[in-house]
Amino acid sequence: EPESDDNGPVTASEKSGERKPRKSLGNAGSVHVPRSFHDMVLFNASVMNMSENLWFEEMLQSLRALVPNSGNISRLQEECDLLCLALVHYEQ
């Protein structure tokens, strides 16, 4: 099983620092491109002006329990219920 960091699993190539060559987009070199699922979600949240919502991080963290249990409908329902209970405390 791969090791993980705060943003999720770390692959062997990420751990060793290897990078695959990428085509240049000219002036796009100054743009930070998210490389993990966590970073991509946060990037998308900022694009949608949702990055200030405190509940967004709560929802993101719950995905670590939701996704692995998607094959077990009763466990998935439990995780969804827990997420609902956690989110009910946030203002709309």
Burial 45-67 (b: 16+ CB within 10 A, else e): beeeeeeeeebbeebeebeeeee
**Residue 55: its pLDDT value, please?**
87
The list of the chain residues with pLDDT below 70 reads 1-30, 92
**Residue 72: its pLDDT value, please?**
95
**Residue 1: its pLDDT value, please?**
45
**Residue 57: its pLDDT value, please?**
86
**Residue 91: its pLDDT value, please?**
77
User: pLDDT by residue (tens digit) across 60-75?
Assistant: 889 999 999 999 999 9
